[in-house]
Chain A
Amino acid sequence: NAGVMQNPRHLVRRRGQEARLRCSPMKGHSHVYWYRQLPEEGLKFMVYLQKENIIDESGMPKERFSAEFPKEGPSILRIQQVVRGDSAAYFCASSPEGTTYNEQFFGPGTRLTVL
């Protein structure tokens, strides 16, 4: 009964590099959500995906950020040309198909540090 898995747990990048964050949802879950958390703050929604589809990307910055959830493999959050302001904890959550009450289960997060 593996939960939501994220890797890497910690990622250090220099300004201008690319960051790739991976998320494997819970077994049987087909909906994936990405959130960002700054220190001492709540979580901010970024993007919601189903297999091969982006359902809601209203929280994604317009530039440098992209997300995918391919038919096979984990969901990927990609940040190009990282800047110091991208330093944060990025969390992935998943939920099953047809949930009534939108209960989401979170992974342990990836802590991104941009030098």
Chain B
Amino acid sequence: TQLLEQSPQFLSIQEGENLTVYCNSSSVFSSLQWYRQEPGEGPVLLVTVVTGGEVKKLKRLTFQFGDARKDSSLHITAAQPGDTGLYLCAGGVYFGNEKLTFGTGTRLTIIP
């Protein structure tokens, strides 16, 4: 059974600060996705990483896939209130269509 542990579980910081969220597993994943979910809505796909060591940037968000494809991180620079939400990582074991294993989630609150 593949498990994805996210840390921290809750994070509350001031606007303008930087933060990093971690997603760790003992299993290897072929791809890893990051989603953001707002209250009452479904998860929205932010990025997919597939190559060990890969780094992707999305404006102030930087995503990294670990060399061994077992872990990932999300770094936010100069956080803004609009970044508030539940961040979820999700992994696929095989390439192609299959179920996703979701992480435990990080609830981020940015204080204006």
User: Footprint of B on A, CB under 8 Å?
Assistant: 4, 6, 31, 33, 35, 40-45, 48, 55-56, 58-59, 91, 93, 95, 97-109, 111
Contact = CB atoms under 8 A, between A and B. Distances in A.
6 contacts: A42-B88, A42-B102, A45-B100, A91-B42, A102-B31, A102-B33
B83 to A, nearest CB: 19
Contact of A102 (B42, B98, B102): B98
Contacts of B41: 108-109
Contacts of A48: 97-99
Contacts of A98: 96-97
Contact of B104 (A41, A91, A95, A108): A41
Interface residues of B, number: 30
Nearest to A91: B42
Interface of B: 4, 6, 30-31, 33, 35, 40-45, 48, 50, 88, 90, 92, 94-105, 107
Given A40-B107, A41-B104, A42-B104, A103 B43 contact: no
Contacts of B94: 102
Contacts of A107: 42
Contact of A43 (B43, B92, B107): B43
A84 B8 CA distance: 30
Contacts of A101: 30-31, 48, 50, 92, 95
